[in-house]
Amino acid sequence: MPDETQIIHRGHGAPVLIVEDIATEAFTLRKVLERADYQVTLATSGQEALRLLAMREFKLVITDIDMPGMDGYEMCLAIKDSLRTRTIPVILLTTLSSPANILQGLKCKADYYLTKPYTPSLLLARVQTLLERPPTPPDADAEPLPVALEGQEHVVTAGRRQMVNLILSTYECAVQQNRELIATQAELNRRNDQLREQQEQLRIANEQLKALATTDGLTGLKNYRTFKERLAEEFERATRYHLPLSLMLLDVDHFKSFNDTHGHPAGDEVLKRVAKHLTESTRSTDFVARYGGEEFAVLLPFTHQQAAMALAERTRAAIEHAKWDLRAVTASFGVATINADTHTGSMLVEFADNALYRSKETGRNRVTHASELTKP
């Protein structure tokens, strides 16, 4: 990509005086002009600049306004009031762009305002224009122009061309800065879009990580750890507000022999189909989890014993009558419902597990409720 200074015609060694007391600013400005083939001389004060102008010939002066001792306005007026130097174009560099500053530039007969920060291309374009069409000498007989600003009267003696150039230069700088602002805003919007996209990707990744941490990889059901957390929440709510809560545990019958005969991949398919039956037969408020191995758990909030037993029986029948590829598959069920003897969530699990054991002990493929067990 070509340097932006190459867009401007070469300076052909034209001598330019830079007046700037800040070394970094002066160095930057000098590099821009030297790359465009201008011969640059530096002065650090208005007094030094006037001494150089008295000794040597310069085609253009670029000066900062805010300097110790003689400021840029005073130095510019001294240049324009001298017969020897009054036709030398003067560019004022400033961070100020209020009407009062513009008026002050007119009073000192400056030729151009360049508001900081500026682009090198804009600076070089204005330098080229002023060198190609240098200003005419100020008309000493021109009628002073009174100007009222902020309740004060000012008298401007600059020529018409200087007035137009100086006013238009401030407008041009404002347009340039507005373009840069628009470009900066566009870049900021682009980066914000990228940030939002990255945040969305991060959110999705976090959700995926959360799902991996809470989900059984084989069946897609919630895992044992998540079941324990949900059990504690549901038990606390049920006991606090005196709500019914039931738990259903089920175990695939003769699953070890199935795996030994048909292999683990076939056994995995059985577990996935059982999980599917469970999710299809339960409500959205129920909580289905893989408890471990071939065992599953279903938490049934707001569910009394009778409704829990009915659900367990429907699920048992659905598994039994499903079309299985290798051999019939059945499951045994144990159900428990909280009562006055259920003091913790772990006790609810223990009661359901005991009922499940009774179902397996008495022939499998059946449903038993904990209340059916003989108390010791």
Indicate which residues carry an active-site annotation: 294
Nearest Cα neighbor of 7 from 116, 119, 133 is 119
First to last CA, the chain: 90
Residue type, 342: T
Is residue 334 within 8 A of residue 358, CB to CB? The reply is yes
Please, which contacts does 96-104 make with residues 24 or more away whose CB atoms are closer than 8 Å? 96/65, 97/170, 97/173, 97/174, 99/149, 99/150, 100/149, 100/150, 101/65, 102/166, 102/167, 102/170, 103/147, 103/149, 103/154, 103/156, 104/73
Q: Count other Cβ atoms within 10 Å, centred on residue 202.
A: 10
Integer CA distances (angstroms), 51 to 78, 138, 266, in order:
12, 22, 99
- DSSP class of residue 215? B
> Angle at CA 65, nearest 5°, toward 62 and 71?
110
CA of 329: how far to CAs of 83, 271, 273, 285, 357, in Å? 112, 10, 10, 27, 18
Contact 80, 86 (CB under 8 A): yes
